[in-house]
């Protein structure tokens, strides 16, 4: 049986349940709805409109937009014509956009609003292949006269006129689609260099969704929340392919800033989020507990351990004592149930974390309050997901077992390799990288891992990041960093120590939470850098470092730490758009700080360049204190 394409699934849904809700978007506080019939109408109009502009099979269209119904409709419309959508990170800066749009050979660009249009027009001279820029929101664009520009409404009107002239054309185009057709080019985050364009086929998407459905029972009545960047394969997996294949309803928040509020209103049945989101939620809950009344604060602190113990015992499949059952029932009534409702998880059957390992403390926190959070594992190159934890078989620190249609094994060096129908077609215009990643049908992930005795995969870190100290002690930086980020006061951390005598850490404080903490103690501050260098703040972070050290093997405990004067920022190329640390870049940029951490120096002078959202830059000069962690084993610093 031939594999169906996403446009073909859309036609199926529009015929089977035309009046059911397919997409919603919150606009000015009111949820606006598209039925499946509406979805089809917009896709058909956009597809035929693109054809009227000369858009042809295999042409590329880059998309620069927040999560909106029009974004998903445009992606499906491009596929219906036989073209290829290329979603971009909407917060990308100029040179990142220029590289991807030009490398992808995009002839057309979909830009949501004036902000995104301005980005593209500013790059016009360096984008010679771009012939049209299609915008959705006309606000602020009335006096723009560039011939590249065309409103989405005008494009759809052209398409509807074409449909009136050739009423069966769209269905004919969709019927030509095949499973082997290229569905999209998804550019990787580029942790070690230039982003690569992963070519994902229609069959890749269908097999990936089908593999997950064999594990989890999804329903057409399920509500999803689309808030992750469309350029991240996780959003394509759930909000585009998953919704079309299963027939679920996708809800788009009003703005990125209103996601948590909209999450509470929707109460999605299925939610996926990268570790950063779960970390932020834990931080927000912990701060709210600290700010709560005496009764609520003490109830939470008294009953939370019972929730964690129940969650831990259930994962270990151990029996619960009567006392523990009673404490958990009290916790469910007074703490866990109200927390789930407050966060928007009252109806959530499945919640997933993926994209990077999630710290065990954070994972356990959500399991403790009754959220069915599970770890998934995969890469863009395997269409998002290849392993998932099953209900009733969730183990702390693992990513579960492979999908039914996926083989996973380890090389002699401990690298994860996978084989499945979800393995991508290769990197666009990069045969060398393709050959290095796919060998004999196996996808080489670059991740170091091992299997436990029950067949669960345990991902340690990126293979290239697992390193050792001068005495040969091995350590995985990401494991230490995740434990640090469980703290509500730590937003980001970078553990260093390769070929050094001990482990040290560079820490980003969480400005919002540390700021509230300082205000409660009447500690005055002006800027992020000023707050980070306050001695009481260093003491606060020192307590968090000591907490982490208690759980670490003695040889890998953090001996020294420093609080950075600015947040690691994707605009400064220190982290990717998916918040993964660019370790090589950070090691070079912060070499002076790292060297000072492994010396006897009590402080280090730094000059930092801060890039603002509008592209402006500012230079700051700061003297950073270097602290020795309490309880860490004392080792001699290396000669600098």
> Distance between CA 637 and CA 640 in Å, rounded?
9
Looking at the predicted structure, is the pLDDT value of residue 590 above 70?
yes
Cα–Cα distance for residue pair 532/258, rounded to 1 Å: 28
Torsion of CA 199, 205, 206, 210, to 10 degrees: 140
Confidence at 462, pLDDT banded by 50, 70, 90: confident
Distance of CA 327 to the CA centre of its chain: 35
Distance CA 238, CA 268 (A): 12
pLDDT band at 548; cut points 50, 70, 90: very high
The CB density around residue 317, as the number of other CB atoms within 10 Å, is 9
DSSP 558: E
Q: Measuring CA to CA, which residue among 11, 34, 26, 96 is closest to residue 67?
A: 26
Residue 634's pLDDT band (cuts 50, 70, 90): very low
Fold held by 467-628: GMP Synthetase; Chain A, domain 3 (3.30.300)
pLDDT in tens, 17-52: 999 999 999 988 899 999 999 999 999 999 999 999
Question: Could you tell me how many residues make up the chain?
Answer: 640
Strands (E), 65-148: 84-87, 106-111, 132-135
Strand order across the beta sheet in which 21-27 lies: 30-35, 21-27, 249-252, 223-225, 270-273, 350-353, 373-377, 387-388, 401-402
Q: Give, in order, the Cα–Cα distances in Å from 226 to each of 23, 75, 231, 242, 271.
A: 10, 15, 12, 11, 9
pLDDT value at 491 more than 70: yes
Q: What is the mean pLDDT of residues 296-302?
A: 91
Residue 335 has pLDDT above 80, yes or no: yes
Q: Does the pLDDT of residue 457 top 60, yes or no?
A: yes
Q: Is the pLDDT higher at 3 or at 408?
A: 408
Sequence-separated (6 or more) residues with CB below 8 Å from residue 435: none
User: What's the pLDDT score for residue 466?
Assistant: 82
Q: Quote the CA–CA distance of 241 and 5 in Å, as a whole number.
A: 9
For 6-250, which CATH superfamily applies?
ANL, N-terminal domain (3.40.50.12780)
Residues 392-448: pLDDT tens digits? 999 988 999 998 889 999 999 899 999 999 999 999 999 999 999 999 999 999 998
Query: Which two tokens mark 460?
Result: 């340690």
Provide mean pLDDT across the span 208-231. 92
The residue ranges of every structural domain in the chain are: 6-250, 269-377, 467-628
* pLDDT value at residue 613: 58
Residue range 358-372, pLDDT digits in tens: 878 889 999 999 999
Least confident of 90-104, 141-155, 238-252: 90-104
Q: From CA 515, how far away is CA 378, in angstroms rounded?
A: 36
CA dist 587 and 596 (Å) reads 13
Q: Which pLDDT belongs to residue 318?
A: 93
Angle at 543 between CA 538 and CA 547, to 5 degrees: 145
User: CA-to-CA distance for 291 and 281, rounded, in angstroms?
Assistant: 15
633 pLDDT higher than 60: no
Tell me what pLDDT residue 192 has. Answer: 59
Give 144-162 pLDDT, tens digit per residue.
999 999 999 999 999 999 9
Domain 467-628 in the same topology as domain 6-250: no
Please provide the average confidence, as pLDDT, over all residues in the chain: 91
Q: Which of 478, 450, 235 is nearest to 352 (CA)?
A: 235
**What distance lies between CA 627 and its chain's CA centroid?**
32
Is the Cβ–Cβ distance between 603 and 624 less than 8 Å?
Answer: yes
Q: Please name the residues in contact with 447: beta carbons below 8 A apart, sequence gap of 6 or more.
A: 415, 416, 459, 460, 461, 462, 463
Please answer whether residues 405 and 207 qualify as being in contact, where contact means their C-beta atoms are separated by less than 8 angstroms: yes
Q: Report whether pLDDT(354) > 90.
A: no
* Rounded average pLDDT over 234-249: 94
């Amino acid at each position: 049986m031939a594999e169906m394409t996403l446009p073909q699934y859309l036609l199926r849904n529009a015929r089977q349940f035309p009046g059911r809700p397919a997409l919603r978007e919150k606009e000015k506080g009111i949820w606006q709805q598209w039925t499946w019939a509406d979805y089809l109408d917009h896709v058909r109009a956009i597809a035929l409109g693109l054809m009227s502009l000369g858009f042809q099979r295999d042409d590329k269209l880059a998309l620069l937009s927040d999560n909106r119904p029009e974004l998903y409709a445009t992606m499906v419309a491009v596929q219906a014509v036989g073209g290829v959508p290329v979603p971009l990170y909407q917060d990308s800066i100029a040179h990142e956009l220029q590289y991807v749009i030009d490398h992808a050979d995009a002839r057309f660009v979909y830009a949501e609003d004036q902000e995104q249009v301005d980005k593209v027009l500013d790059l016009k001279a360096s984008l010679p292949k771009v012939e049209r820029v299609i915008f959705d929101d006309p606000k602020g664009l009335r006096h723009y006269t560039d011939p590249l520009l065309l409103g989405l409404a005008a494009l759809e009107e052209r398409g509807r006129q074409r449909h009136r002239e050739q009423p069966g054309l769209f269905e004919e185009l969709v019927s030509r689609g095949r499973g082997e057709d290229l569905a999209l080019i998804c550019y990787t985050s580029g942790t070690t260099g230039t982003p690569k364009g992963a070519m994902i086929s229609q069959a890749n998407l269908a097999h990936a969704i089908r593999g997950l459905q064999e594990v989890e029972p999804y329903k057409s009545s399920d509500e999803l929340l689309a808030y992750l960047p469309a350029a991240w394969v996780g959003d394509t997996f759930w909000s585009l392919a998953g919704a079309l294949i299963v027939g679920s309803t996708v809800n788009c928040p009003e703005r990125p800033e209103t996601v948590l509020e909209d999450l509470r209103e929707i109460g999605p049945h299925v939610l996926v989020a990268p570790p950063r989101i779960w970390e932020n939620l834990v931080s927000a809950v912990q701060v709210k507990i600290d700010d709560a009344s005496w009764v609520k604060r003490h109830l939470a602190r008294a009953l939370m351990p019972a929730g964690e113990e129940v969650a831990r015992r259930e994962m270990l499949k151990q029996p619960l004592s009567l006392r523990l059952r009673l404490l958990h029932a009290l916790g469910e009534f007074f703490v866990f149930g109200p927390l789930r409702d407050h966060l928007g998880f009252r109806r959530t059957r499945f919640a997933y974390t993926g994209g990077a390992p999630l710290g065990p403390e954070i994972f356990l926190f959500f399991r403790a309050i009754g959220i069915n959070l599970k770890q998934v594992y995969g890469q863009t190159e395997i269409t998002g997901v290849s392993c998932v934890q099953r209900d009733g078989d969730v183990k702390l620190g693992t990513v579960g077992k492979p999908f039914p249609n996926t083989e996973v094994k380890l090389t002699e060096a401990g690298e994860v390799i996978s084989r499945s129908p979800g393995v991508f077609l290769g990197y666009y215009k990069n045969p060398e990288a393709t050959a290095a990643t796919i060998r004999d049908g196996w996808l080489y992930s670059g991740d170091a891992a091992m299997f436990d005795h029950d067949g669960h995969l345990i991902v340690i870190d990126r293979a290239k990041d697992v390193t050792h100290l001068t005495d040969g002690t091995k350590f995985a930086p990401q494991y230490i960093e995740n434990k640090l980020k469980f703290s509500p006061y730590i937003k980001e951390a970078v553990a260093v120590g390769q070929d050094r005598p001990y482990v040290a850490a560079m820490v980003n404080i969480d400005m919002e939470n540390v700021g509230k903490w300082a205000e409660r103690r009447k500690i005055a501050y002006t800027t992020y850098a000023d707050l980070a260098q306050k001695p009481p703040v260093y003491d606060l972070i020192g307590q968090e470092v000591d907490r982490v050290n208690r759980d670490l093997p003695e040889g890998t405990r953090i001996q020294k730490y420093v609080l950075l004067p600015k947040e690691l920022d994707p605009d400064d190329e220190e982290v990717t758009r998916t918040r993964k640390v660019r370790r090589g870049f950070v090691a070079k940029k912060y070499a002076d700080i790292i060297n000072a951490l492994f010396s006897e120096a009590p402080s280090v002078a730094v000059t930092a360049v801060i890039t603002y959202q509008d592209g402006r830059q500012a230079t700051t000069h700061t003297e950073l204190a270097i602290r020795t962690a309490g309880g860490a084993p004392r080792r001699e610093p290396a000669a600098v």
